[in-house]
Structure 1
Amino acid sequence: MTADIEVVQFNDPRLQHLTEAGYVVVGESWGARLRLSDPPDLSVLSAAVVAATEQGFLIEELDPGWAPQVTALEALNHADYPFTPATSVPHRDESDMRELWKSGYRLFGAITDGQLAAVSVIGLTATRAETEFTSVHRSYRLRGLAVAVKAASITALADEGVRIFGTGGAQINAGSIRMNEHLGYAIEERWLSLTMSQ
Structure 2
Amino acid sequence: MGLVNADIQVIQVNDPRLQHQTQAGYVVVGESWGARLRLSDPPDVTVLNAAVVAATDQGFLIEELDASWAPQVTALEALNHADYPYTPATAVPQRDESDVLELWRSGCRLFGAINDGQLVAVSALCLTTARAETEFTSVHRSYRRRGLAVAVKAASITASADAGVRIFGTGGAQINSGSIRMNEHLGYAVEERWLSLTMPQ
- Please, what TM-score do these two structures have when normalized by structure 2? 0.97
Residue deviations 1:10-40 (CA, integer Å, cap 9, x gap) = 0100001101111000000000000000011
* Counterpart residue type for residue 115 of structure 1: Q
* Counterpart residue type for residue 195 of structure 1: T
Corresponding residue for 1:165?
A: 168
Corresponding residue for 1:153?
A: 156
Q: How far apart, CA to CA, are the structure 2 residues paired with 1:127 and 1:50?
A: 29
1:1-198 residue pairs with structure 2 within 5 A?
Answer: 4-198=7-201
Moved over 3 A (4+): none
Q: How far apart, CA to CA, are the structure 2 residues paired with 1:79 and 1:130?
A: 22
1:3–1:195 Cα contact (<8 Å) kept: no
How many residue pairs get aligned? The number is 197
Residue deviations 1:142-196 (CA, integer Å, cap 9, x gap) = 0000000000000000001110000000000000000000000000000000000
C-alpha RMSD over aligned residues: 0.8
| Structure 1 residues without counterparts, runs of 5 or longer | none
Q: How far apart, CA to CA, are the structure 2 residues paired with 1:187 and 1:43?
A: 21
Q: How far apart, CA to CA, are the structure 1 residues paired with 2:6 and 2:83?
A: 23
* Counterpart residue type for residue 78 of structure 1: H
Secondary structure, aligned partner of 1:32: strand
Secondary structure, aligned partner of 2:85: coil
| Structure 2 residues without counterparts, runs of 5 or longer | none
% identical aligned pairs: 84
**C-alpha deviation, 1:197, in angstroms:** 1.6
* Counterpart residue type for residue 175 of structure 1: G
* Counterpart residue type for residue 35 of structure 1: R
* Counterpart residue type for residue 30 of structure 2: G
Q: How far apart, CA to CA, are the structure 2 residues paired with 1:75 and 1:42?
A: 32
* Counterpart residue type for residue 84 of structure 2: Y
